Amino acid sequence: MFDKILIANRGEIAMRINRACHEMGIKTVAIHSTADANAMHVRMADESVCVGPAPASGSYLNIPAIVTACEITGAQAVHPGYGFLSENARFAEIIEEHGLTFIGPKPAHIRLMGDKIEAKKAVKRLGIPVVPGSDGGITNDDEAKSVAASVGYPVLVKASAGGGGRGMKVARNEGELSLALSMARTEAKAAFGDDTVYLEKYLELPRHIEIQVLADRFGKVVHLGERDCSLQRRHQKVWEEAGSPALNAEARDKIGQTVTDALTELGYLGVGTVEFLYENGEFYFIEMNTRLQVEHPVTEMITGLDLVREQLRVAHGGAIGFSQADVTFSGHAIECRINAENSKTFRPSPGLIKDFHVPGGLGVRVDSAAYSGYRIPPYYDSLIGKLIVHGKNRTECLMRLRRCLSEFVIDGIETTIPLFQSLVTEANIIDGDYSIHWLENFLKRTSA
Ligand code: ADP
């Protein structure tokens, strides 16, 4: 196993990785910006290196400084976490070119899945069902019109380089199509520097269901079941569950098998998530994320597996130590993403946390880098913690979640905890009866 790794991230995920390393006897190196010099992820690590100024472009995205930090500390491998450089294929290559190990998939697979058009073509060839739409990029309005006519309205214009829900526009009829195309292109160009867009059938009432996979260098791929991430705001996940209230064991096994077969053929390595929309009993691929996901803890809670430990093992050349049949799912888990934002307007609320008291007890996990007296810097994303709750079944899980939300104290800033407190009493949530549009409709209804 590695003796020392560098964690190229900050906040809760840097802490999460640090914890797995320490349990495995691996020394850790934190990196930080000048704004994060006193951050908890820095204090928890064995060593730390300042890699640049507060804006992420000069620090957490500063590849030369990160490589230098590996060299001066003797770190043998780099864990990128999620966000920042985690899906940057060039970064993964540079790490390997320096004789270090990138804890993640092969650069070619990161690059393939980062181009959503190419990703869709590749997985279709591998036998994974995709959302009907254009075969490639859309070059002009006439082409868009003919694709839309063949798949049927409404359609969704999506950015090939997309991420974070940006560069997506719905067209309900031909009259709306030109504007949707030009808006999606403009947004994609501004966000990703690439205005390539493609067209998909817009599904009206799907759920977002994703399959977690793990692969080693010996051609073994296992899936760790699904997560239901249908509760979203602006195409961004807010609440995640494992398993999905909409799937039974048979459906899970079937889609799990399809995904593992495809990734075995691809020769995938490490952890990854294949994301689908699920409507009327059918799965439609939307994208694959080639990294650890924010919501990975719900999978850990029901499988008892430590995904970061598994990542480190397979990155180091180890084999997965269990078979698909050994993977069992126990109980139910829910994660709430707690953001430093007003719970009605979602306006960011950085600043000083005066009091921070986390819930505890059986089946409760809080992943956070916050503490009483911590000042949240305004430079980074607003996720300040994840509350993850496990129960013997979904009902117990919901009751426990309700109890935990009433114990959680974060004073001094605004957070999204009140939103979750209202969600846990909603009949549709209690029944598990919601699609990807449910939360937006709920927010509209309750703000009026
Ligand atoms: P991103 O990479 O920007 O997150 P995704 O392709 O993963 O984009 O889609 C994010 C979310 O957008 C999905 O979870 C879903 O809510 C919505 N979405 C994406 N494609 C479609 C579609 N064809 N029909 C309806 N909603 C969609």
**pLDDT score of 163:** 87
Ligand 1 centroid distance, CA of 383 (Å): 20
**pLDDT score of 107:** 98
Residue with tokens 């096994």: 253
Q: How does pLDDT run across 389-419, given as a tens digit for each residue?
A: 999 999 999 999 999 999 999 999 999 999 9
**Nearest residue by C-alpha to atom 20 in ligand 1:** 286
Residues with Cβ within 8 Å of residue 21, at least 6 apart in sequence = 5, 7, 27, 28, 308, 312
Residue spans of beta strands (DSSP E) within 324-368: 332-339, 351-352, 355-357, 364-368
Q: How far is CA 39 from the centre of its chain?
A: 23
327 neighbors 225 (Cβ within 8 angstroms): yes
Q: Tell me the C-alpha distance between 443 and 335, whole Å.
A: 19
**pLDDT score of 322:** 98
Residues with Cβ within 8 Å of residue 22, at least 6 apart in sequence = 28
**Nearest residue by C-alpha to atom 23 in ligand 1:** 202
Packing angle of the helix pair 63-73, 89-97 (nearest 10 deg): 30
Q: Which of 277, 280, 289 to mutate to test the pocket of ligand 1 (most atoms within 8 A of CB)?
A: 277
Residues with Cβ within 8 Å of residue 444, at least 6 apart in sequence = none
Instruction: Please give the C-alpha separations between residue 81 and each of 87, 88, 103, 166, 174, in angstroms, as whole numbers.
Output: 10, 12, 9, 21, 42
**Nearest residue by C-alpha to atom 21 in ligand 1:** 202
Ligand 1 centroid distance, CA of 55 (Å): 28
**pLDDT score of 270:** 98
Q: Domain coordinates of the chain in residue numbers?
A: 4-96, 132-201, 207-447
**Residues whose beta carbon lies within 6 Å of some atom of ligand 1:** 131, 156, 162-165, 200-203, 208, 232, 235, 275, 277, 286-287, 436
291 has catalytic annotation: yes
**Nearest residue by C-alpha to atom 19 in ligand 1:** 286
**pLDDT score of 162:** 87
The DSSP call for residue 34 is G
Q: How does pLDDT run across 363-392, given as a tens digit for each residue?
A: 999 999 999 999 999 999 999 999 999 999
**pLDDT score of 202:** 97
- Compute the chain's Rg from CA coordinates: 21
**pLDDT score of 230:** 98
363 neighbors 389 (Cβ within 8 angstroms): yes
Ligand 1 centroid distance, CA of 380 (Å): 23
Ligand 1 centroid distance, CA of 446 (Å): 24
> Which listed CATH number (3.40.50.300, 3.40.630.10, 3.90.1300.10, 3.30.1490.20) goes with 132-201?
3.30.1490.20
- ∠ CA 370-336-381, rounded to 5°: 50
Low pLDDT (below 50) residues in the chain: none
DSSP secondary structure string, 142-183? HHHHHHHHHH-SSEEEEETT--TT-S-EEESSHHHHHHHHHH
The ligand 1 atom at the shortest distance from the C-alpha of residue 206 is: 25
**pLDDT score of 166:** 87
* Span between the terminal Cα atoms of the chain, in Å: 56
Q: What is the pTM of this model?
A: 0.97
Q: Which fold has domain 207-447?
A: D-amino Acid Aminotransferase; Chain A, domain 1 (3.30.470)
Exactly one of 291, 313, 337, 394 is catalytic; which is it? 291
Q: Which of 117, 118, 166, 168 to mutate to test the pocket of ligand 1 (most atoms within 8 A of CB)?
A: 168
Ligand 1 centroid distance, CA of 9 (Å): 25
**pLDDT score of 18:** 98
**Nearest residue by C-alpha to atom 13 in ligand 1:** 235
The structure tokens listed for 143 are 């082409």
SS3 337: strand
Q: Does domain 4-96 have CATH number 1.10.357.10?
A: no
**pLDDT score of 164:** 84
Ligand 1 centroid distance, CA of 109 (Å): 21
**pLDDT score of 225:** 98
Q: Tell me the C-alpha distance between 275 and 401, whole Å.
A: 25
